Structure 1
Amino acid sequence: MSGTCETLPSTIHITKEEYTDGGILSRTCEGDVGVAKCEGSCSSQVQPSVVHPSGFLKECMCCRESFLRERVVTLTHCYDPNGNRLTGKSSSLDVKMREPADCKCFRCGDSSE
């Protein structure tokens, strides 16, 4: 099966809110983060079949990650609940995120594990 499924660089905007134990907003941090994404198409096919109830064998292929990798990114723009920019120790926040690694064509509906 051929296709144009590949892993491409992308940028997303992340906003993360942090709350106190009492549920009160303590700060909001944000930043633009470079991540990988799966993009492209995969060749799917339909062929006549006497053993399938529909009369056709359908093989749908989807472009997605073969696994996700976890990494830590730092959001460097933090604000207090009033919108004032924070400085010093509370001016950045580390966030764990998962991003696609090694995108490939898989049969649609199959898990990528």
Structure 2
Amino acid sequence: MDREKYKARKLVDELIGYFLVHGVQKITVDLSMDEEKTTIVLNGHANKRIHDIDELVELMNAHRRPELEDYYEHLVGNSYNSYELDLLGAMVDKANYKCDGENLWLKVTRYFEF
């Protein structure tokens, strides 16, 4: 479980960084962990449409790569670029978002057993 907490922390850091780079303000984070999964929900105020959020969610819904996670978890959160989005996709099982006016909501789920 400690390893999963570390990964959750790295994912939250990366997702907050993504929101900040795109000018999202008033960010709130809800992180929950149970026996099966980690769920991260971010809410924020976005003045404009984030141009690559569809790509981000698509990458996070792509096939998870557990064989590379030990390597990737050390790279996530070190800098922000498009490569980091690929890393997120390799560590997350599913993601979705909703944009309601200027309110942005992003939910990410990572299951412990793959």
Shorter-chain TM range is under 0.3
Structure with more strand by fraction: 1
TM-score, normalised via structure 1 length: 0.26
TM-score by length of 2: 0.26
Return the index of the structure with the highest Cα Rg. 1
Structure that is richer in helix per residue? 2
